[in-house]
Chains A and B, each alone.
Chain A
Amino acid sequence: MTLLSLSQVGKRFATGTQALDGLSFKIAAGEFVSLLGPSGCGKSTALRLAAGLLEPDAGEIAYPGGKPETAFVFQEATLMPWADTLTNARLPLDLKHVPRDEANDRARKALARAGLAGFEHAYPRELSGGMKMRASLARALVARPKLLLLDEPFAALDEITRHALGDDLLRLWGEDGLTVLFVTHSAAESSYISQRVLVMTPRPGRVAADITLASGRDTRLSPPTIQAQRAISDALSTAGALA
């Protein structure tokens, strides 16, 4: 069942930049899809459009099953520096007026699932970059979203942390039956983490290749993963992204 569909979507900013032109793709419920492309190709814009944070100038964005509960994870952790981890993770529930006890309980569970048990009362500045991103993930999961949108969430992290968080994200996706749209500029990351990769052209962005990845990519260095990475890199060069 299609959860999200974009057809012929265009977006031009007030500055005159045509970020997207004729962007079309569909995502089925439960899929893990990477949106891959060079910097500035409009990936983030596409993600914001999918979230409903921006309106398209052209084309149509549809949610055939109704607008799903959506969560967004930014490249920066985007936490409230004045609030502890628990309060940060609770934000979506607070905004929805969920009773405080229930909200605290759910936020605690979400933090534990994201690997932050015991850090409920730490402030963001007391956390490492990876832990901040975990808090951001916990906040995204606390409202039990159907659709999780991630905008290069691990780009600012070191490789070891990036891998650990990638594995955790895969686990959470499996446990929750989430639909994930994952924006990245790393072919390696997308080849391991996702089921399907949408390769975008340079700006104005549209989908140049839609690659469904083979199974058997159990580790980052499994031959099928490497093979997938090669196919994705080839698609990127064909799209003119690797100039």
Chain B
Amino acid sequence: MSQSGMKRLASIALPLAVAILLLGAWEIAVAHWQVPPYVLPAPSAIARAFLGNFASLMAALAATLTVTLEAFLAATVLGIATAIAFSQSRLLERTFYPYAVILQVTPVVAIAPLILIWVGFDHINLALVIISTIVAFFPILAGATLGLKSADFNLIDLTRLYGASRLQILWRIRLPTALPYLLSGMKTAGGLALIGAVVAEFVAGSGTATGLAWRIVESGNRLEIATLFAALALLAVTGVAIFAALSLLEWALLRRWHESAISHQS
């Protein structure tokens, strides 16, 4: 096997081995000390809870994932649009960037109840998407703003020499330059959109939301800790999947030209 093949295998096999060891130790420890299942269920019990509640957990996952993806999409579109507006007008940026920062630094948990009241519990999904969008918006705005500003001044001068319009400069120079920064912001935003969706579901409380976070709260209340763990694991896997998907997108878009996506030959 080639050296790079070995490395790739190791990067999968080693974390997997750790997971198996940890789960095995967990299983044995729970059995040995007879830990009550409402404190810490064994991995096997979590797996049983997962399979037993498979349909309802998948429905909850679908609900959370829908909110997450809608919010991520909204944050991406809004973030890019705002960054483009900022890149075209310094005045606009100076005027509104502080508000974007305020939105970012105010804990979303503190705004969430207000948004739920304003949007109304009849439109609970919209409220969840708005809350999650607020959380995911800033990294995209920050990444895209920095990226659009990072364009090579000489290259822009060159296009001006050929009479390029602002739109041509934006499309041909600024946006491609911004792509790596934007994608990096999107990777952060993907995880944040999920966190935002979970926080929003927590705040919305049971009876209205139907996602994984609500399942966690509900399972906790009922002391169904194994189901809680199953929902938690599902959330973690979802977060990893979102990150992996965005990393793949990044690789696909940058692999030919950007240093970050190119593996150096040793």
> Residues on A close to B: CB < 8 A?
48, 51-53, 70-72, 74, 76, 78, 80-83, 91-92, 94-96, 123-125, 143
B162: which A residues are within 8 A, CB to CB?
91-92, 95-96, 143
Chain B nearest CB, measured from A188 CB (Å)? 26
Task: Collect the chain B residues with CB atoms within 8 Å of residue A78's CB.
Answer: 152, 154-155, 158
CB closest residue in chain B, given A48: B157
| Contact (Cβ within 8 A) B257 A123 | yes
- Determine, out of B3-11, B81-89, B172-180, B202-210, the stretch whose residues face the partner at the interface: B172-180
Q: Which of B158, B172, B259 has the most CB of A within 10 A?
A: B158
Interfacial chain A residues near B152, Cβ < 8 Å: 78
Q: Is the interface of B mostly helix, strand, loop or mixed?
A: helix
6 of the cross-chain contacts (CB-CB < 8 Å) are A72-B161, A74-B154, A74-B158, A80-B172, A81-B258, A82-B258
List the 3 shortest-distance A-B pairs measured between CB atoms, nearest first.
A95-B162, A82-B176, A78-B154
Contact, CB under 8 Å: B168 / A95 = yes
**B173 touches which one: A53, A72, A80, A125 (CB < 8 A)?**
A80
Name the B residues within 8 Å of A92 (CB-CB).
Answer: 162
Name the distance in Å between B260's Cβ and chain A's nearest Cβ.
12
Complex-state Cα separation, A96 to B259, whole angstroms: 31
Let me know if B164 and A95 touch, CB within 8 A: yes
How far apart sit A159 and B259, CA to CA, in the bound complex (Å)?
27
Max count, chain A CB within 10 A of own CB: residue among B159, B162, B164, B262: B162
B157 CB, min distance to chain A CBs, angstroms:
5
Contact A51 B262, CB 8 Å, known A74-B154, A80-B173, A91-B172: no
Interface residues of B, count at CB 8 A: 22
Contacts of A74 in B (CB 8 A): 154, 158
B222 interface residue, CB < 8 Å from A? no
Known: A80-B176, A81-B257, A123-B256. A53 touches B262 (CB 8 A): no
Binary CB contact string for chain B from 195 to 238 against chain A (1 if under 8 A, 0 otherwise)? 00000000000000000000000000000000000000000000
B40 CB to closest chain A CB, in angstroms? 51
The answer for the CA separation of A70 and B162 in the assembled complex, in Å, is 8
CA gap between A185 and B42 in the complex, in Å = 75
Whether the Cβ atoms of B154 and A125 lie closer than 8 Å is no
What number of residue pairs across chains A and B have CB atoms under 8 A from each other?
53
The answer to whether A94 touches B257 (Cβ under 8 A) is no
How far is B195's CA from A136's CA once the two chains are assembled, in angstroms? 47
B107 on the A face (CB < 8 A) = no
Q: Per-residue 0/1 for B146-165: is the Cβ within 8 Å of any A Cβ (1 yes, 0 no)? A: 00000010110111111110
C-alpha spacing A92/B258, complex, angstroms: 23
Which residue from B159, B257, B258 sits with its C-beta under 8 Å from A95?
B159
Contact with A along B236-260 (1 / 0, CB 8 A): 0000000000000000000011110
Q: Which of B154, B159, B164, B258 has the most CB of A within 10 A?
A: B154
In this complex, what residue of B is CB-closest to A70?
B161
Smallest beta-carbon distance B198→chain A, Å? 36
* A72, A91, A124, A125: the one within 8 Å of B262 (CB): A125
Q: Are B159 and A53 in contact (CB under 8 A)?
A: no
Please give, as numbers and ranges, the residues of chain B lying within 8 Å of A143 by CB-CB distance.
162
Asked if A72 and B158 make an inter-chain contact with CB atoms under 8 angstroms apart, the answer reads yes
Question: What are the residues of chain B within 8 A of A53 when measuring CB–CB?
Answer: 157, 160-161
Contacts of B179 in A (CB 8 A): 82
